[in-house]
Protein backbone atom coordinates (compact mmCIF):
# COMPACT_ATOMS: atom_id res chain seq x y z
CA UNK A 1 0.00 0.00 0.00
CA UNK A 2 1.35 3.46 -0.86
CA UNK A 3 0.96 6.66 1.07
CA UNK A 4 -1.58 9.05 -0.51
CA UNK A 5 -0.10 11.90 -2.52
CA UNK A 6 0.15 15.25 -0.76
CA UNK A 7 0.50 18.65 -2.39
CA UNK A 8 4.09 19.82 -2.59
CA UNK A 9 4.50 22.97 -0.48
CA UNK A 10 7.33 24.24 -2.68
CA UNK A 11 8.94 23.52 -6.02
CA UNK A 12 11.52 20.83 -6.57
CA UNK A 13 13.93 23.55 -7.69
CA UNK A 14 13.60 25.23 -4.31
CA UNK A 15 14.05 21.87 -2.57
CA UNK A 16 17.23 21.23 -4.46
CA UNK A 17 18.60 24.64 -3.40
CA UNK A 18 18.13 23.81 0.28
CA UNK A 19 21.15 21.49 0.10
CA UNK A 20 24.53 22.93 -0.81
CA UNK A 21 26.47 21.26 -3.65
CA UNK A 22 29.23 18.88 -2.58
CA UNK A 23 32.71 19.45 -3.98
CA UNK A 24 34.01 16.76 -6.31
CA UNK A 25 30.69 14.88 -6.43
CA UNK A 26 30.24 12.48 -9.35
CA UNK A 27 26.65 12.32 -10.60
CA UNK A 28 25.64 8.67 -10.94
CA UNK A 29 21.99 9.22 -11.85
CA UNK A 30 20.68 12.68 -12.68
CA UNK A 31 17.02 11.85 -12.07
CA UNK A 32 15.42 8.94 -10.22
CA UNK A 33 11.64 9.13 -10.14
CA UNK A 34 9.77 8.41 -6.90
CA UNK A 35 6.17 8.91 -5.90
CA UNK A 36 6.63 12.44 -4.55
CA UNK A 37 9.83 13.83 -6.05
CA UNK A 38 12.77 13.10 -8.32
CA UNK A 39 16.17 12.39 -6.80
CA UNK A 40 19.78 12.84 -7.85
CA UNK A 41 22.33 10.20 -6.86
CA UNK A 42 25.97 11.29 -6.42
CA UNK A 43 29.15 9.46 -5.50
CA UNK A 44 31.32 11.38 -3.01
CA UNK A 45 34.16 8.91 -2.38
CA UNK A 46 35.27 5.49 -3.61
CA UNK A 47 37.87 2.82 -2.90
CA UNK A 48 36.38 1.90 0.49
CA UNK A 49 36.92 -1.76 1.44
CA UNK A 50 33.57 -3.28 2.41
CA UNK A 51 32.37 -0.14 4.22
CA UNK A 52 29.95 -0.87 7.07
CA UNK A 53 28.90 2.38 8.74
CA UNK A 54 29.27 6.12 8.44
CA UNK A 55 29.12 9.12 10.74
CA UNK A 56 29.18 12.73 9.59
CA UNK A 57 31.36 15.05 11.65
CA UNK A 58 30.16 18.61 12.36
CA UNK A 59 32.87 20.01 10.07
CA UNK A 60 31.45 18.12 7.06
CA UNK A 61 33.95 15.26 6.99
CA UNK A 62 32.87 11.63 7.33
CA UNK A 63 34.07 8.69 9.33
CA UNK A 64 33.57 5.36 7.58
CA UNK A 65 34.22 1.95 9.13
CA UNK A 66 35.59 -0.68 6.75
CA UNK A 67 34.88 -4.24 7.81
CA UNK A 68 38.47 -5.56 7.41
CA UNK A 69 39.43 -3.28 10.32
CA UNK A 70 39.99 0.23 8.94
CA UNK A 71 38.44 3.48 10.15
CA UNK A 72 38.66 6.01 7.34
CA UNK A 73 38.29 9.77 7.35
CA UNK A 74 36.65 11.13 4.18
CA UNK A 75 37.27 14.80 3.36
CA UNK A 76 34.74 17.00 1.60
CA UNK A 77 36.65 16.63 -1.67
CA UNK A 78 36.40 12.81 -1.45
CA UNK A 79 39.98 12.09 -0.44
CA UNK A 80 40.37 9.34 2.18
CA UNK A 81 42.76 8.80 5.09
CA UNK A 82 42.90 5.64 7.18
CA UNK A 83 43.26 6.37 10.89
CA UNK A 84 45.79 4.80 13.22
CA UNK A 85 44.88 3.25 16.58
CA UNK A 86 41.99 0.93 15.62
CA UNK A 87 41.89 -2.29 17.72
CA UNK A 88 42.72 -5.55 15.96
CA UNK A 89 39.40 -6.99 14.77
CA UNK A 90 38.58 -10.52 13.60
CA UNK A 91 37.50 -9.86 10.01
CA UNK A 92 35.92 -13.08 8.84
CA UNK A 93 32.52 -13.51 7.19
CA UNK A 94 30.22 -10.87 8.69
CA UNK A 95 32.71 -9.94 11.41
CA UNK A 96 35.14 -7.04 11.54
CA UNK A 97 34.90 -3.33 12.28
CA UNK A 98 31.18 -2.58 12.29
CA UNK A 99 28.95 0.28 13.46
CA UNK A 100 29.81 3.89 14.33
CA UNK A 101 28.08 6.52 16.45
CA UNK A 102 29.17 9.92 17.76
CA UNK A 103 28.31 10.81 21.34
CA UNK A 104 25.13 12.94 21.29
CA UNK A 105 26.96 15.75 23.14
CA UNK A 106 29.83 15.79 20.63
CA UNK A 107 31.28 19.28 20.38
CA UNK A 108 31.47 20.18 24.06
CA UNK A 109 35.02 18.85 24.37
CA UNK A 110 34.25 16.53 27.25
CA UNK A 111 32.10 14.14 25.20
CA UNK A 112 33.90 14.13 21.85
CA UNK A 113 33.83 10.33 21.69
CA UNK A 114 33.49 8.03 18.69
CA UNK A 115 31.72 4.78 19.60
CA UNK A 116 32.27 1.68 17.47
CA UNK A 117 31.41 -2.00 17.54
CA UNK A 118 33.69 -4.79 16.38
CA UNK A 119 34.24 -8.53 16.48
CA UNK A 120 36.77 -9.24 19.21
CA UNK A 121 38.94 -12.37 18.80
CA UNK A 122 39.85 -14.84 21.55
CA UNK A 123 41.48 -18.23 20.84
CA UNK A 124 39.73 -18.62 17.50
CA UNK A 125 36.31 -17.47 18.73
CA UNK A 126 34.77 -14.00 18.64
CA UNK A 127 32.38 -11.75 20.55
CA UNK A 128 30.64 -8.49 19.67
CA UNK A 129 32.40 -5.66 21.51
CA UNK A 130 31.86 -1.93 22.03
CA UNK A 131 34.67 0.60 22.33
CA UNK A 132 35.07 4.35 22.19
CA UNK A 133 37.93 6.68 21.29
CA UNK A 134 38.78 10.29 20.56
CA UNK A 135 39.89 11.63 17.19
CA UNK A 136 43.23 13.44 17.21
CA UNK A 137 44.58 14.35 13.80
CA UNK A 138 44.79 11.10 11.85
CA UNK A 139 44.68 8.77 14.85
CA UNK A 140 42.34 7.35 17.45
CA UNK A 141 43.52 8.10 20.96
CA UNK A 142 42.27 7.20 24.45
CA UNK A 143 40.75 3.99 23.08
CA UNK A 144 38.54 2.36 25.74
CA UNK A 145 36.83 -1.02 25.59
CA UNK A 146 33.41 -0.51 27.18
CA UNK A 147 31.55 -3.80 26.73
CA UNK A 148 32.04 -7.35 25.43
CA UNK A 149 29.19 -9.84 25.12
CA UNK A 150 29.31 -12.57 27.76
CA UNK A 151 30.03 -15.54 25.50
CA UNK A 152 32.59 -15.99 22.71
CA UNK A 153 31.58 -18.34 19.88
CA UNK A 154 32.48 -19.45 16.37
CA UNK A 155 33.40 -16.48 14.16
CA UNK A 156 31.74 -15.21 11.02
CA UNK A 157 27.99 -14.77 11.53
CA UNK A 158 25.25 -12.62 13.06
CA UNK A 159 27.05 -9.99 15.07
CA UNK A 160 24.12 -7.55 14.86
CA UNK A 161 26.03 -4.50 15.99
CA UNK A 162 23.90 -1.42 15.29
CA UNK A 163 24.05 1.46 17.75
CA UNK A 164 21.41 4.11 18.52
CA UNK A 165 21.22 6.80 21.21
CA UNK A 166 18.08 7.29 23.29
CA UNK A 167 16.99 10.81 24.36
CA UNK A 168 18.13 10.12 27.95
CA UNK A 169 21.72 9.62 26.79
CA UNK A 170 21.75 5.83 27.05
CA UNK A 171 22.96 3.70 24.16
CA UNK A 172 21.17 0.83 22.42
CA UNK A 173 23.30 -1.92 20.88
CA UNK A 174 22.10 -4.96 18.94
CA UNK A 175 23.77 -8.37 19.10
CA UNK A 176 22.78 -11.16 16.71
CA UNK A 177 22.16 -14.76 17.70
CA UNK A 178 25.65 -15.58 16.33
CA UNK A 179 24.22 -18.01 13.78
CA UNK A 180 25.12 -21.47 15.01
CA UNK A 181 22.62 -21.88 17.85
CA UNK A 182 19.50 -19.76 17.20
CA UNK A 183 17.98 -20.80 20.55
CA UNK A 184 20.46 -18.47 22.25
CA UNK A 185 18.09 -15.61 21.37
CA UNK A 186 15.58 -17.04 23.86
CA UNK A 187 18.14 -17.48 26.64
CA UNK A 188 18.04 -14.30 28.71
CA UNK A 189 21.23 -15.35 30.44
CA UNK A 190 23.02 -14.82 27.10
CA UNK A 191 23.59 -11.50 25.34
CA UNK A 192 23.16 -13.09 21.90
CA UNK A 193 19.94 -12.35 20.00
CA UNK A 194 19.05 -9.17 21.82
CA UNK A 195 19.05 -5.40 22.06
CA UNK A 196 21.11 -4.08 24.96
CA UNK A 197 20.80 -0.73 26.73
CA UNK A 198 24.00 0.71 28.18
CA UNK A 199 25.26 3.92 29.72
CA UNK A 200 27.72 5.99 27.71
CA UNK A 201 30.54 4.32 29.67
CA UNK A 202 29.27 0.79 29.01
CA UNK A 203 27.52 0.30 32.33
CA UNK A 204 23.96 -0.79 33.15
CA UNK A 205 21.25 1.87 33.54
CA UNK A 206 19.44 1.26 36.84
CA UNK A 207 16.03 1.35 35.13
CA UNK A 208 16.73 -1.39 32.56
CA UNK A 209 13.73 -3.74 32.29
CA UNK A 210 15.35 -6.84 33.82
CA UNK A 211 17.71 -5.43 36.48
CA UNK A 212 15.63 -6.94 39.30
CA UNK A 213 15.49 -10.41 37.70
CA UNK A 214 18.42 -12.60 38.76
CA UNK A 215 17.81 -14.95 35.81
CA UNK A 216 18.27 -12.25 33.16
CA UNK A 217 21.41 -10.32 32.22
CA UNK A 218 21.07 -6.72 33.38
CA UNK A 219 22.09 -5.24 30.00
CA UNK A 220 19.15 -6.82 28.12
CA UNK A 221 16.50 -4.45 26.77
CA UNK A 222 14.78 -6.98 24.46
CA UNK A 223 15.18 -10.67 23.53
CA UNK A 224 14.32 -12.91 20.59
CA UNK A 225 16.08 -10.83 17.91
CA UNK A 226 17.83 -12.86 15.19
CA UNK A 227 20.20 -10.27 13.69
CA UNK A 228 19.36 -6.56 13.81
CA UNK A 229 21.47 -4.57 11.33
CA UNK A 230 19.36 -1.43 11.16
CA UNK A 231 18.24 0.61 14.19
CA UNK A 232 17.05 4.17 14.68
CA UNK A 233 15.65 6.23 17.52
CA UNK A 234 13.24 8.65 15.86
CA UNK A 235 12.66 12.31 16.65
CA UNK A 236 9.81 11.40 19.03
CA UNK A 237 11.92 8.80 20.88
CA UNK A 238 10.44 5.69 19.23
CA UNK A 239 12.80 2.81 18.45
CA UNK A 240 12.66 0.95 15.14
CA UNK A 241 14.87 -1.92 14.00
CA UNK A 242 15.27 -3.85 10.74
CA UNK A 243 16.18 -7.47 11.25
CA UNK A 244 17.43 -10.36 9.15
CA UNK A 245 15.16 -13.38 9.13
CA UNK A 246 15.90 -16.63 7.36
CA UNK A 247 14.57 -17.04 3.82
CA UNK A 248 11.62 -14.68 3.37
CA UNK A 249 11.48 -13.61 7.02
CA UNK A 250 13.16 -10.18 7.01
CA UNK A 251 11.23 -7.78 9.20
CA UNK A 252 10.93 -4.38 10.85
CA UNK A 253 10.20 -4.26 14.56
CA UNK A 254 8.92 -1.57 16.89
CA UNK A 255 11.27 -1.96 19.84
CA UNK A 256 9.97 -1.63 23.39
CA UNK A 257 11.61 -2.41 26.71
CA UNK A 258 11.21 -5.96 27.98
CA UNK A 259 9.62 -7.36 24.83
CA UNK A 260 10.42 -10.74 23.27
CA UNK A 261 10.45 -10.70 19.46
CA UNK A 262 10.13 -14.44 19.08
CA UNK A 263 13.16 -15.78 17.24
CA UNK A 264 13.46 -18.75 16.65
CA UNK A 265 10.10 -19.81 18.14
CA UNK A 266 8.29 -17.28 15.95
CA UNK A 267 9.31 -16.50 12.38
CA UNK A 268 7.78 -15.95 8.97
CA UNK A 269 10.94 -17.26 7.30
CA UNK A 270 11.88 -20.73 6.12
CA UNK A 271 14.76 -23.10 6.70
CA UNK A 272 17.59 -22.59 4.19
CA UNK A 273 18.01 -26.31 3.56
CA UNK A 274 14.51 -27.78 3.68
CA UNK A 275 12.41 -24.75 2.77
CA UNK A 276 10.06 -25.56 5.65
CA UNK A 277 8.65 -22.88 7.99
CA UNK A 278 10.65 -22.15 11.12
CA UNK A 279 8.59 -21.90 14.30
CA UNK A 280 5.09 -20.44 14.49
CA UNK A 281 3.64 -17.40 12.79
CA UNK A 282 2.72 -15.90 16.16
CA UNK A 283 2.70 -16.89 19.83
CA UNK A 284 1.29 -15.33 23.02
CA UNK A 285 3.83 -13.21 24.88
CA UNK A 286 5.95 -12.60 21.78
CA UNK A 287 5.85 -9.41 19.74
CA UNK A 288 4.81 -9.67 16.09
CA UNK A 289 6.75 -7.66 13.50
CA UNK A 290 5.47 -4.28 12.39
CA UNK A 291 6.38 -5.08 8.80
CA UNK A 292 7.64 -8.09 6.84
CA UNK A 293 9.55 -7.30 3.65
CA UNK A 294 8.34 -8.88 0.44
CA UNK A 295 10.84 -11.47 -0.73
CA UNK A 296 14.39 -11.14 0.61
CA UNK A 297 15.47 -7.68 1.73
CA UNK A 298 18.55 -8.66 3.81
CA UNK A 299 18.17 -5.39 5.73
CA UNK A 300 21.09 -3.20 6.79
CA UNK A 301 20.91 0.45 7.74
CA UNK A 302 17.85 2.39 8.89
CA UNK A 303 17.24 6.13 8.97
CA UNK A 304 14.38 8.54 9.61
CA UNK A 305 13.67 11.45 7.26
CA UNK A 306 13.20 14.78 9.02
CA UNK A 307 14.91 17.16 6.55
CA UNK A 308 12.92 20.01 4.99
CA UNK A 309 14.21 18.96 1.57
CA UNK A 310 11.88 15.91 1.68
CA UNK A 311 8.54 17.40 2.82
CA UNK A 312 6.37 14.44 1.82
CA UNK A 313 8.68 11.95 3.51
CA UNK A 314 8.61 13.61 6.93
CA UNK A 315 8.79 10.94 9.64
CA UNK A 316 9.21 8.09 7.16
CA UNK A 317 11.91 5.45 7.54
CA UNK A 318 14.46 4.48 4.92
CA UNK A 319 15.64 0.86 5.05
CA UNK A 320 18.64 -0.40 3.11
CA UNK A 321 18.93 -3.89 1.66
CA UNK A 322 21.96 -6.05 0.93
CA UNK A 323 20.87 -8.97 -1.24
CA UNK A 324 17.84 -7.04 -2.50
CA UNK A 325 19.96 -3.97 -3.38
CA UNK A 326 16.88 -1.90 -2.53
CA UNK A 327 16.31 1.26 -0.54
CA UNK A 328 12.77 1.14 0.82
CA UNK A 329 10.70 4.04 2.17
CA UNK A 330 8.44 2.89 5.00
CA UNK A 331 5.66 4.97 6.53
CA UNK A 332 5.05 4.36 10.24
CA UNK A 333 1.77 4.95 12.03
CA UNK A 334 2.13 4.41 15.76
CA UNK A 335 3.80 1.01 16.13
CA UNK A 336 2.85 -0.18 12.64
CA UNK A 337 4.22 0.29 9.13
CA UNK A 338 1.31 1.24 6.86
CA UNK A 339 2.95 1.93 3.48
CA UNK A 340 6.11 1.22 1.51
CA UNK A 341 7.82 2.38 -1.68
CA UNK A 342 11.00 1.25 -3.44
CA UNK A 343 13.33 4.25 -3.86
CA UNK A 344 16.49 2.59 -5.20
CA UNK A 345 16.61 -0.80 -6.88
CA UNK A 346 20.10 -1.94 -7.87
CA UNK A 347 21.42 1.59 -8.35
CA UNK A 348 24.44 1.14 -6.06
CA UNK A 349 24.42 -2.60 -5.38
CA UNK A 350 24.29 -3.94 -1.82
CA UNK A 351 23.20 -1.14 0.51
CA UNK A 352 25.00 -1.39 3.86
CA UNK A 353 24.14 1.89 5.59
CA UNK A 354 21.82 4.88 5.22
CA UNK A 355 22.02 8.09 7.29
CA UNK A 356 20.47 11.54 7.16
CA UNK A 357 23.11 14.23 7.56
CA UNK A 358 22.68 17.42 9.55
CA UNK A 359 22.76 19.21 6.18
CA UNK A 360 19.54 17.46 5.12
CA UNK A 361 21.19 15.13 2.60
CA UNK A 362 20.82 11.35 2.63
CA UNK A 363 24.09 9.43 2.69
CA UNK A 364 24.58 5.77 1.77
CA UNK A 365 27.31 3.14 1.71
CA UNK A 366 27.40 0.09 -0.52
CA UNK A 367 28.92 -3.19 0.62
CA UNK A 368 31.64 -3.96 -1.88
CA UNK A 369 35.40 -4.67 -1.82
CA UNK A 370 35.68 -1.35 -3.68
CA UNK A 371 32.74 0.37 -2.02
CA UNK A 372 31.66 3.99 -2.16
CA UNK A 373 30.00 6.79 -0.21
CA UNK A 374 26.92 8.20 -1.96
CA UNK A 375 24.60 11.16 -1.50
CA UNK A 376 20.91 11.27 -2.40
CA UNK A 377 19.26 14.70 -2.80
CA UNK A 378 16.25 16.17 -4.60
CA UNK A 379 16.93 16.66 -8.32
CA UNK A 380 17.07 20.21 -9.66
- CA dist 71 to 25, 84, 117, Å? 22, 8, 12
Distance CA 175, CA 193 (A): 6
- CA dist 51 to 22, 33, 297, 372, 376, Å? 20, 27, 19, 8, 17
- Secondary structure (DSSP) of 235-263: TTS-EEEEE--SBT--EEEEE-TT-B--T
Contact 315, 301 (CB under 8 A): no
Contact 37, 7 (CB under 8 A): no
User: 158, 191, 244, 347: which is the annotated catalytic residue?
Assistant: 158
**How many Cα atoms are found within 13 Å in the side-chain-facing hemisphere of 25?**
17
User: Who contacts 267 (Cβ-Cβ below 8 Å, separation ≥6)?
Assistant: 226, 245, 246, 249, 277, 278, 279
User: Who contacts 317 (Cβ-Cβ below 8 Å, separation ≥6)?
Assistant: 232, 234, 240, 252, 302, 303, 304, 305, 329, 330, 331, 332, 337
Question: What is the SS3 assignment for 114?
Answer: strand
Distance CA 300, CA 282 (A): 24
User: Who contacts 68 (Cβ-Cβ below 8 Å, separation ≥6)?
Assistant: 49, 50, 89, 91, 96, 97
Contact 336, 11 (CB under 8 A): no
Distance CA 329, CA 348 (A): 16
347 is annotated as an active-site residue: no
Active site members: 158
Amino acid sequence: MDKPCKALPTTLLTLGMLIAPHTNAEVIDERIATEHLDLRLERLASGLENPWALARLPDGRFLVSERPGHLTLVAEDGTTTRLEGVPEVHARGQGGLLDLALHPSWGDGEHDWIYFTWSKPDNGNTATALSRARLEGESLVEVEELFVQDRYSDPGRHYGSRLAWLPDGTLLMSIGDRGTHPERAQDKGDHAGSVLRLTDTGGVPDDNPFVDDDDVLDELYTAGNRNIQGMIVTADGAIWASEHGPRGGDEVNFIEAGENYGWPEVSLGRDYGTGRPIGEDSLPGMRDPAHVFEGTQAPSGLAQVTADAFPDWQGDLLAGGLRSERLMRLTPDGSDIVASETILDGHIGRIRDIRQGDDGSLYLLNDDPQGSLYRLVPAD
